[in-house]
Structure 1
Amino acid sequence: MTIRPDDVALMTGSYATDAVDAVERAAVDAAMAASDPVRAEVDSLHETALLLAYAVEPVEPPRDLRAALMAKIATTPQLPALPVEDAQGGSSVGDLAAAAPGSAQSVAPQPVAREARHAAVTDVTAAPAGTASGNARVRWFQRPARVVLAAAAAVAVIAGGTLGIQSLAEHETGPGQGQVQASTKLDQIYAAADFQRASTTVKGGGTATVVWSDQLRKSAVIFKGVKAAPAGKTYELWYIGSSITPAGLVGSVDGGTTSAVLSGAKAAGDTIGITVEPAGGSKQPTTKPIVAVPTSA
């Protein structure tokens, strides 16, 4: 299987949600090693998928989800093949075949109305046939059912949460193969065998989701819908146990979705606290916590 450079550009989203096969994964890995922008894009998509997955309450997927998808695949007709044009952008094979055999008269290519030629697939073939983007669009709709299932899994990542680190492709590749690769501290927490999460409302609006792993001694906080700290203030994270230990600041809070991995090592049973502190943070809390999430069993 030969993968073109333009294919790799279309695979970053699938790679980020672990919806690629071994060959495609190797191609994206190579592209990331050679291009910082590609790596940055994959990291951004990966992080966004995880944030969206765990910033909402888990939802149990319907038992018949996979069966329904397979039924749709079995009953959905394939699109007809597109006309093949010559390298110079001239007439299609169908146009040439229409010329009378044996005719010595020069036959100029007869343009076919784009609306007629692509009537059933107008939105799919916005780029001219034969161009890299056009061919890439066509290849997408010729991909096997495995990719359809993987795409559905990516939607489930955003909508459900429960499927955040495991795609429907796992049914075909075996347990564990559908897990998102742990490449950052946040990913490592999500992939941990003892991964846990808890959500709570934030005083002033929004929610905070705490995720943690006692085995890794790591934790993280995901803000959703939380307003920026007042001018001259910042949100500070704390491990609260036998002592209170500062664990970093949460930056770039703007009412959207923001994550922060706590610094230091989490002890079993620690409470994760968040306070509003002067810019730069404090050595000890100076205000009451706006969030306090126990992690004890």
Structure 2
Amino acid sequence: MSEDREKNLRIVALYINKMPSLPTSVAKVMEISNDPNASPADLNRVISIDPVLMGRVMKLINSAYYGLNQRITSLVRAIIMLGINTVKNLALSTAILGNLGGKEHFQALNMDGFWRHSLCVGVTAKQIAKKRKVDPRKIEEFFVAGLLHDIGKIPLNNRLSDQYFLAMSIADRETMPLYKAEKRAMAIHHCEAGQLIAKTWNLGQEISDAIIYHHSPSAYEGKHREMVLTIAAANYLANFLEIGFSGDRYPEKLPLELFDEIGVSFDWLEEIEEVVNEEIERARIFLKLGGEA
């Protein structure tokens, strides 16, 4: 391992280890949600003793994202209407965004553009999952994996700002993918940093694999291939259409076989641009919730 790589990995790991851990209630929500026998009442018992999380659930169900005609005031009814997986992913994503969502001074990336790109990947992945008729209970997993796929850019951008400026300059000057420019400038890239966050916060292997392989999906042969390929395709579309800004102006083209494998064409992805933009605006509630204390 080169000295630069070892040094930068140590800096990033220290930053990640100092981040606040996920709240106990969120960990408990994840545990309950992963139990196939779990019921809304089980979640209600955990969420009802966490006023912040309870407030987020109630704000989500009564937001424009769902557009209900009448206000919901019962927590257990909100959980039933949202579904256990949606509540789990709300708890997870808002806890993460609360820890990482713009509280510090960022140097190279515009964070509004970064989160819009992340939302785009999340909602596009969700659209692909729906088209593939993925089990409705798992569809929200695709949204969260897409939302978090670039999360490793935050510690790089924050703790290695000068090197990150250099990486972005190299990518622009040599018209190359940002992750390759990061590797050249910093000896590590955002996929590796994101994997460290996933491991530290026990986000699960599926999300971790999507984070580490979203720029190299052809190399992935594990059991979460559908998720990895979906996030890779959604990320490519977001960069191609320049929805938000991830710093990656020159992404690598994905092999056509990848689109064939997940059962969508690039033409279809372009056709859903209007739907994606509408969903981004609706899903911005996750950012607002995540930025709250």
Scaled to the shorter chain, the TM-score interval is: under 0.3
Higher RCO (C-alpha under 8 Å, 6+ residues apart) = 2
Between structures 1 and 2, the one with greater strand share: 1
Between structures 1 and 2, the one with greater helix share: 2
What is the TM-score with the length of structure 1 in the denominator?
A: 0.21
Kindly name which structure, 1 or 2, has the bigger radius of gyration based on alpha carbons. Answer: 1
What is the TM-score with the length of structure 2 in the denominator?
A: 0.21
